[in-house]
Amino acid sequence: MPGRYIAVEGVIGVGKTSLAKLLAERLHAKLILEEPEGNPFLADFYKDPRRYAFQTQMFFLVNRYQELKQKTQPDLFHEGIVSDYMFQKDRIFANLNLSDRELHLYDQIAPLLERDLAPPDLVVYLQAGADVLLERIHQRGRAYERLMEPKYIGTLVEAYNYFFFHFREAPLLVVNTNEMNFVHRRQDLEDLIARVDTHQDGIAYVSPSAKAEERS
């Protein structure tokens, strides 16, 4: 596992950042964390999605590119990289939120940026049901997240599942987190780290109630 670039992904509230921090600590890896609160359009977007979708999306696109371009370069002080997002996920939100004309402009820009970034060596996709996500979002109590409609969370769950069902750009671990707690149950974390350590190719599905199943 030394030297690998691992991206942790999933719908808002699923636990990406918590897991990324734990993995980076265990693997002595450089940690890259997205800070959505830094997007000045985000709160306005949740209040009025149609009006602020394009500004919000373009800010995220450029900011994600700049950060990953700078921070995914290997260095002598870390044994790898762990990020709590991947650049390609930006398209999920673009497809959901932008109008046809806005998406056409987005499609002129995003591929130019994407081809300039190194892809992850492994993606860990954390899944959870909409009800579980809403409860986790409520528990962490971020003010701007309270503006999100439950229907929007359900739509995101479907969009993420569709995206990763067709994802083939890197080895992928799909992890059902409905009954997992990486922060407070050590065995859950140890089991997942073992899977991260050994998974090198194709897709593997991981859940607490069954052994991982793999397919290429």
d(CA 133, CA 142): 13
How many domains is the chain built from?
A: 1
Instruction: Establish whether 38 is an annotated binding residue.
Output: no
* Ramachandran area for residue 177 (φ above 0: left; ψ -120 to 50: alpha; else beta): alpha
Cα–Cα distance, 195 to 204 (Å, whole number)? 9
Q: Which of 84, 107, 116, 197 is catalytic?
A: 84
Flag whether 10 is marked binding. yes
Q: For a pLDDT cut of 70, what percent of the chain falls above it?
A: 91
Residue 3 assigned ligand-binding role: no
pLDDT of residue 77: 75
- Name the residue range of residue 133's domain: 5-215
Domain containing residue 185: CATH number: 3.40.50.300
Please check if 18 is assigned to a binding site: yes
pLDDT tens, 77-123?
Answer: 788 999 999 999 999 999 999 999 999 999 999 999 999 999 999 99
Is 109 annotated as contributing to ligand binding? no
Cα distances from 113 to residues 69, 109, 117, in angstroms, run 9, 7, 7
pLDDT band at 149 (very low <50, low <70, confident <90, very high): confident
Q: Is 48 a catalytic residue?
A: no
